[in-house]
Amino acid sequence: MRIRWCTFDCYGTLIDWEGGVTDALLPYFADPPDRDALAKEYIGTEASIETGAYLRYREVLDRAGAALLRNHGIDRPSPLPASLPGWVAFAEVPRALRALQTAGRRIAILSNVDRDLIATSIPKLGITPDLVVTAEDVGSYKPAVGQPGAAQRRCGRRRGHRVRLGSRRRDLSVRRCVRQAHPDLGGVDTGA
């Protein structure tokens, strides 16, 4: 069956989430920690906040950033909510997404953010996604079923015509996701 929909997480797959987070936090440290260690610590801190009652992502960024800084003896407000609009797309993303759309695939973004925050990142993708489902839309964060369920309802329930490409995995580039995730996407030149 021909793949009609390609769904992506935005931050960490299309937008450099870890780079954005660490770039915003590192200036607060007199003796900066290793970037990878800081990113890993932040991921754990954010995940612990997301397991509680639903909060808008702006609040998650605020609480997680402030908690991480406090854990290092830094009493400052979180810079993260204000930094997100400056986070950049990975270099291959615009070309890869354009190639998928040109080849007739529809693009859906499922993301653990608020509508106003993702609106600052969509122009960096080089395309207009056919569908965007956010945590704010469904009142929950992945891996809960809210976002995938909403996407399934909007994209159609037929098995095999959707493929999930990338899910906050910094080691998987978009073109690698496309090349490896599904054989029916073979032949789409995403800039490899």
Residues labelled catalytic: 9
CA distance 109 to 127: 12
Length of the chain counted residue by residue: 192
Cα–Cα–Cα angle for 133, 134, 139, rounded to 5 degrees: 115
Which CA distances in Å does 125 have to 94, 96, 101, 131, 148? 5, 9, 12, 13, 21
The candidate with the shortest Cα–Cα distance to 42, out of 170, 178, 136, is 170
Q: How far apart are the first and last CA of the chain?
A: 24
Backbone angle region of 104, left / alpha / beta, with phi > 0 → left and psi within -120 to 50 → alpha: left
Q: What is the DSSP string of 61-75?
A: HHHHHHHHHHHTT--
* Residue appearing with tokens 């979180």: 78
